[in-house]
Structure 1
């Protein structure tokens, strides 16, 4: 079986999922080529697992400071004409299946040519009805329009009575430890000066901040570091807590490592707002409101850490399911994995 795997590279979570699926698909005997879109290739990092991967412009999003989508910047930064040309010119000869992690070029090219397509991404959970107020028919329509696939597999922290799989993340690579004063921070759209203003007063703690830098720098108790997947996970394993946006991937890893989480959803992003609401219902995180509140941070810093909660081998199960011709339904696959993990509790 030969697969073209398309990855939306605007967010690191999509790429991280592909990193987890790559060895699982290889172990299942599947031949895979990778295509990434939505980010300048020069800004990609730690891409060695993907071999001779391809890049396309695709569709991307521009963000304002604080993470709100910059609508004019997004409209000006995308070219529907170029997207159409990339879809039309993508060569799918020799492939048996396209997998799309919310990547529009591969998804639409497969649909145009009648090639079977499978979507694997957190975003596809919005095809189902979830608890809360931040999803509806408009969200579902937008998801289907962005990266349409024949069969969609959604991932979430709970199945909510739907055919939804647990998070697709790698098992912990480093032993869990605890440096009581070390807080890991990933808020890539917050200005660094703003982060300094937030964290400087908490001088009893060290804040390790990963952001877009070529070289690291330390200012008092705030340690700014350039992006590094390996370095980030080492710090995740040893920190006393994580402050991040409400993205699905890192929040899942935080739960797996047994670290407390202070989550700041991007305003105006339905996915992030939905995640934040469900984190609260599931007791996974403390959620920041619109503005940073020093008292909330102080209270959160005093909280204990939860127990680590490793997820089942979703990547291995998916890879074997794909290699075997997807004979089971998604619902059957989901039931097997949730039976292995257990039943998460939902509040309210």
Structure 2
């Protein structure tokens, strides 16, 4: 019997999408052949498998802890997006899987190819998934999240299993098998703040050591109580050994921190609806969520931080099987 073949589209604008793909694709390859498409600007992150389609895609522009929607729109490439969408050959594939990646999703839609959205964002297809109390004021953002990588079918991932189509977090084996330690430092990954903003802010806490990871850092450097590193595989080892984690309200790394029972402080990226919703879900789990990066709020957390109960995680092989079952005969 001929092996089934899928195209896996990865949104390269967030570390979580790439991290999930790295965890999931080896398990998928036990059952089907997998080709990879990636779009977005964080493609400098190492990806173990060959990438068949490497597209420009869309990305968000962040300034001062918020999305700059005007610059995001002006720096998009709509004509390139359309060219890329129709340049793919989808005939060899039995199904397309998209992790919130729009080129593979809309290319499948216009070619009548079965496509399934496998992402954290697709968990919001269900209204059982937590929202910010102000969600009616974000109806355009809700529609954006629904139609950015539009599919009719989905398997979502979230902190808890809110319905049968939503699975617990899919984590890397290194995180699942890790033996967490407490080496005294605080790991920091705040993608929406510039590197200089973070240096200036965390130097205000000389009694604490911070390990800051940023995509605009090229070499490891030490500045007073701060160790600054490029965004790389060393990030996970820093978190495993940390005494706390400070991040925006993304999904993947916060799920890893919760699994590792790390004290967690989250600052949702302003004007990004998904982050507000994640913040609402994290609050229900006992996580400290603050609206701005303010000295007093961070100091209070540093003084009172406590480990949180671990969350359930997904059996990656079972999740891979659930995806394969979606292939239509």
Q: Same fold (TM over 0.5)?
A: yes
Conserved 8 A contact 1:64-1:189: yes
Q: Deviations over 1:69-108 (max 9, x none)?
A: 2222112211222211111221112111100001111111
How many Å apart are 1:162 and its aligned residue? Answer: 6.3
Equivalent residue of 2:63, what SS? coil
Conserved 8 A contact 1:7-1:14: yes
How many Å apart are 1:188 and its aligned residue? Answer: 2.3
CA–CA distance in 2 between the matches of 1:160 and 1:322?
Answer: 18
CA–CA distance in 2 between the matches of 1:176 and 1:227?
Answer: 20
Among 225, 230, 239, the alignment partner of 2:229 is 225
What's 2:46 paired with? 46
Q: How does 1:1-348 map to 2 (within 5 A)?
A: 1-27=4-30, 29-39=31-41, 41=43, 44-48=44-48, 50-66=49-65, 68-129=66-127, 130-131=129-130, 132-136=132-136, 137-160=139-162, 163-171=165-173, 172=175, 173-179=177-183, 181-211=184-214, 212-229=216-233, 231-283=234-286, 285-290=287-292, 292-302=293-303, 303-309=305-311, 311-313=313-315, 315-325=316-326
Gaps of 5+ in 1: 328-348
Equivalent residue of 1:55, what SS? strand
CA–CA distance in 1 between the matches of 2:145 and 2:308?
Answer: 33
Conserved 8 A contact 1:134-1:274: no
Conserved 8 A contact 1:7-1:100: yes
Conserved 8 A contact 2:142-2:273: no
Structure 1 residues 62 and 146: alpha-carbon distance in aligned structure 2, compared to 1, 3 A threshold: same
Q: Deviations over 1:255-301 (max 9, x none)?
A: 01110111011000000011112211221x111223x3323222212
Quick check: 110-119 or 160-169, which moved more?
A: 160-169
Q: Aligned-residue CA RMSD in angstroms?
A: 2.0
How many Å apart are 1:144 and its aligned residue? Answer: 3.0
How many Å apart are 1:139 and its aligned residue? Answer: 3.8
Structure 1 residues 183 and 139: alpha-carbon distance in aligned structure 2, compared to 1, 3 A threshold: same
How many Å apart are 1:154 and its aligned residue? Answer: 1.8
What's 1:344 paired with? none
How many Å apart are 1:10 and its aligned residue? Answer: 0.8
Gaps of 5+ in 2: none
Structure 1 residues 20 and 125: alpha-carbon distance in aligned structure 2, compared to 1, 3 A threshold: same
Equivalent residue of 1:94, what SS? coil
CA–CA distance in 1 between the matches of 2:83 and 2:204?
Answer: 52
Equivalent residue of 1:3, what SS? strand
CA–CA distance in 2 between the matches of 1:161 and 1:26?
Answer: 27
Conserved 8 A contact 1:257-1:310: no
TM-score, reference length from structure 1: 0.85
Equivalent residue of 2:158, what SS? coil
Count matched residues. Answer: 317
Which structure's residues are more often helix, by fraction? 1
How many Å apart are 1:204 and its aligned residue? Answer: 2.3
Conserved 8 A contact 1:10-1:37: yes
CA–CA distance in 2 between the matches of 1:85 and 1:149?
Answer: 20
Q: Deviations over 1:103-138 (max 9, x none)?
A: 111111111111111110111122121344254553
CA–CA distance in 2 between the matches of 1:161 and 1:6?
Answer: 24
Structure 1 residues 278 and 308: alpha-carbon distance in aligned structure 2, compared to 1, 3 A threshold: closer
Q: Deviations over 1:149-178 (max 9, x none)?
A: 131122111234564211122242432111
